[in-house]
């Protein structure tokens, strides 16, 4: 049996002591929900990872400050429909003002409030809409509100994304809940403490901020930083974990209990990362690109990311075309150091390239693989022990349409 038990319909409010809401404030022309709030009944330890984009959005800058200066979080406010990015000092002031308004409404301190935004870049935040969202969300906070909060943070997502699981630590039940959004502008490179995807994670363990920071940093590297839809990093990528301690389980660094919890946390984060790629804008394929037996992890990463982000590979996959020439070309320009004459490539275990040349597998057999909803491109460099994998999608006509016609 699994060490972890998934909760049907799980969300951020599956965790005791957390409430959430998703409401329509008026950011979206469609009238769909567009403002979410999460609140902890007690002060929660926290950590975050954020985009490494130089044009980091105002809410990202405010949250970085929280990570460096605040001991606890009590709430988070998230809007969709406006990114509050490239908005200068006014944008920073509006993000801080959002935290102040939430704090007043909930009776907490402004420095105990995180803020995130997603949507169009370069437009000042309409603060009257923010105020309306805060009032509506604060009034609607509920321990059943996680699913509505996940819906409210969507932009081009076609489905909300939230999960929760439970595990036993020291004879007590621990819960992890999470929600995320992201379908396009997905190629995160998040760093700690300083990826468009947003992820909020709640849990009822007790852990200090330093331990949470270390866990998030390690897990982001093996989850959200391993996915790409279109190779474009967002100005707003954010992952925040809040731990309220209500389970009575306290974690200490270096213990088996902490390692087990981190494994469960990674399971949640990888599940959400997979969901984002599956829901990629216009995506019809989920592709795992894995490079093995490489000289170094960095070489393997360069190769995997080059193939995963290649427009020629991604459009071929959309068309069900097994054209391996596009794969070897991407490997060749990746910047990695390897011997092409030692390189083998497989599609779902079927040989495509042997020692840098055609493996002789009939194209009809390969077509059957790349026409599937999911398949794996395995590159074996036969030179070392290092490896790296990336989850990616294809690029379809619908992707172009979505991004040519995008508006909130």
Catalytic residues: 196
Which is nearest to 312 in space by CA: 298, 303, 323? 323
Residue 134 to residue 298: CA distance in whole angstroms: 44
Alpha carbon of 221 to those of 69, 75, 142, 270: distances in Å?
A: 24, 26, 32, 10
**CB-based contact 178:270 (threshold 8 Å):** no
Residue 331 to residue 321: CA distance in whole angstroms: 18
Residue 390 to residue 186: CA distance in whole angstroms: 12
Which is nearest to 167 in space by CA: 46, 251, 92? 251
CB neighbours of 236 closer than 8 A, spacing ≥ 6? Answer: 51, 56, 57, 59, 60, 83, 85, 116, 117, 118, 196, 198
Which is nearest to 162 in space by CA: 41, 32, 18, 51? 18
H or E element that contains 65: helix 58-69
SS3 73: strand
Q: Facing residues of 330 across strands?
A: none
């Amino acid at each position: 049996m699994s060490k972890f038990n998934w909760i049907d319909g799980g969300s951020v409010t599956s965790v005791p002591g957390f409430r959430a809401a998703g409401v329509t404030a008026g950011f979206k022309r469609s009238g769909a929900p567009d403002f979410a709030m999460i609140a902890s009944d007690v002060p929660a330890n926290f950590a975050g990872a954020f985009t490494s984009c130089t044009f980091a959005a105002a809410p990202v800058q405010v949250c970085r400050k929280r990570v460096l200066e605040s001991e606890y979080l009590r709430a988070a406010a998230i809007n969709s429909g406006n990114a509050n990015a490239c908005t200068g000092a006014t944008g920073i002031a509006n993000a801080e003002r959002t935290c102040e308004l939430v704090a007043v409404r909930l009776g907490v301190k402004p420095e105990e409030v995180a803020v995130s935004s997603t949507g169009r870049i370069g437009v000042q935040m309409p603060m009257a809409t923010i105020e309306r969202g805060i009032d509506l969300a604060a009034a609607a906070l509920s321990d059943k509100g996680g699913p509505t909060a996940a819906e409210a943070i969507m932009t081009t997502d076609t489905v909300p994304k939230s999960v929760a699981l439970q595990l036993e630590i020291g004879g007590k039940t621990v819960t992890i809940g999470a929600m995320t959004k992201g379908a396009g502008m997905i190629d995160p490179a998040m760093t700690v403490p300083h990826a468009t995807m947003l992820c909020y994670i709640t849990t009822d363990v007790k852990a200090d901020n330093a331990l949470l920071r270390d866990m998030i940093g390690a897990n982001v590297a093996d989850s959200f930083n391993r996915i790409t839809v279109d190779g474009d990093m967002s100005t707003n990528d954010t992952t925040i974990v809040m731990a309220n301690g209500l389970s009575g389980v306290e974690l200490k660094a270096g213990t088996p209990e902490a390692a087990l919890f981190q494994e469960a946390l990674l399971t949640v984060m990888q599940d959400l990362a997979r969901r984002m790629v599956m829901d990629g804008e216009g995506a019809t394929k989920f592709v795992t690109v894995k490079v093995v037996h490489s000289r170094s992890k960095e070489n393997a990463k360069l190769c995997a990311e080059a193939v995963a982000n290649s427009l020629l590979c991604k459009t071929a996959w959309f068309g069900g075309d097994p054209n391996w020439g596009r794969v070897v070309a991407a490997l060749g320009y990746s910047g990695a150091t390897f011997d092409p004459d030692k390189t083998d490539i497989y599609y779902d275990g079927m040989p495509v390239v042997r020692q840098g040349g055609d493996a002789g597998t009939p194209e009809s057999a390969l077509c059957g693989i790349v026409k599937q909803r999911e398949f794996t491109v395995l590159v074996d460099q036969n030179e070392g022990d290092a490896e790296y994998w990336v989850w990616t999608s294809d690029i379809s006509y619908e992707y172009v349409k979505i991004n040519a016609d995008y508006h909130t």
